[in-house]
Amino acid sequence: QFQLQESGPGLVKPSETLSLTCTVSGGSISSSSYSWGWVRQSPGKGLEWIGNIYYGGNTYYSPSFRSRVTISVDTSKKQFSLKLTSVTAADTAIYYCARRADYGGNSPLPIDYWGQGTQVIVSS
């Protein structure tokens, strides 16, 4: 069955770069019907969309993160990744990787699969 699994450090120091990887299993990562992205959840700010990478490599980032974020994909490994630079305590959150499905409707694309989430704490 289709699954997404996040991996990466659970503790990052302030001012450093947060790096997470999401591994896709049970399905293809190379399809124009889907895009791949990241959402985070913190007690203070609820769910926040970070950005997506589309089939063909185009990326779209939330304006809130645009200056600090990079999302990339490695189709050979069936993985996509998140890099968030210059982190602060405000970046402490559960980070979810997600698949968005093109159902033929209007924006936004719904997230039909979520990873289980990984807790990242920013602290020295």
Partner 1 sequence: QSVLTQPPSVSGAPGQRVTISCTGSSSNIGAGYDVHWYQQLPGTAPKLLIYGNNNRPSGVPDRFSGSKSGTSASLAITGLQAEDEADYYCQSYDSSLTESLFGGGTKVTVL
Residue 103 near partner 1 by CB under 8 A: yes
Q: Is the dihedral of CA 38, 95, 2, 112 positive or negative?
A: negative
Residue (46 or 124) nearer to partner 1, CB? 46
Residue (25 or 64) nearer to partner 1, CB? 64
Q: How many CB atoms lie within 10 A of CB 50?
A: 23
The distance from CA 5 to its chain's CA centroid, rounded to whole angstroms, is: 11
Residue 107 near partner 1 by CB under 8 A: yes
Residue 115 near partner 1 by CB under 8 A: yes
Tokens of 109: 């694309």
Residue numbers of the site for partner 1 (CB under 8 A)?
Answer: 46-49, 62-64, 96, 103, 105-108, 110-112, 114-117
